[in-house]
């Protein structure tokens, strides 16, 4: 019996919101990396890469996530960076 369906009022389950938020804070908690520190890392990474290439600053996505490592049971923290390169600089 689906009461939401019955009354035509289907909304997102709040537990999924909780889960996603929780996963995100735990990634930072576990790596002992604050959003502020991540921001600092991010700008350093961008600065270094900018020396070699012209990058699309709006398309940058750098975040901390959890990843399963080959042959290991528990996931490890991973920094995933997606940095679109417009043009490699001539050196």
Partner 1 sequence: MDDQKKGKAIVITSGKGGVGKTTTSANIGTGLAMNGNSVVILDADIGLRNLDVVMGLENRIVYDIVDVVEKNCRLKQALIKDKRFEKLFLLPAAQTRDKTAIKPEQMIELIDELKKDYDYIIIDCPAGIEQGFQYSIAGADEAIIVTTPEISAVRDADRVIGILEAKEIHNPKLIINRIRPDMVKKGDMMNIDDIVDILAIDLLGIVPDDEAIVISTNKGEPVVMEEKALAGQAYKNITNRIMGEEVGLLNLETEEEGKLSKILKLIFGK
**Binding residues vs partner 1 (CB under 8 A):** 1, 13-16, 18-19, 21-23, 25-26, 29-30, 74
Shortest reach from residue 29's CB to partner 1, in Å: 6
Nearer Cβ to partner 1, position 14 or 82? 14
Nearer Cβ to partner 1, position 74 or 82? 74
Q: CA separation (Å) from 43 to 47, 54, 57, 69? A: 6, 15, 11, 27
**Using CA atoms, how far apart are residues 7 and 61, in angstroms rounded to an integer?**
40
Shortest reach from residue 7's CB to partner 1, in Å: 13
What is the token pair recorded at 9?
Answer: 């009022």
Whether the Cβ atoms of residue 62 and residue 79 lie closer than 8 Å to each other:
yes
Nearer Cβ to partner 1, position 10 or 57? 10
């Amino acid at each position: 019996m689906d009461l939401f369906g019955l009354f035509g009022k289907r909304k997102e389950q709040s537990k999924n919101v909780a889960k996603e938020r929780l996963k995100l804070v735990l990634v930072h908690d576990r790596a002992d990396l604050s959003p502020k520190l991540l921001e600092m890392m991010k700008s350093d990474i961008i600065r270094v890469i900018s020396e070699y290439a012209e990058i699309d600053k709006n398309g940058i996505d750098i975040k901390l996530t959890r990843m399963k490592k080959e042959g290991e049971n528990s996931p490890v923290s991973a920094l995933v960076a997606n940095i679109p390169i417009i043009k490699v600089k001539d050196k």
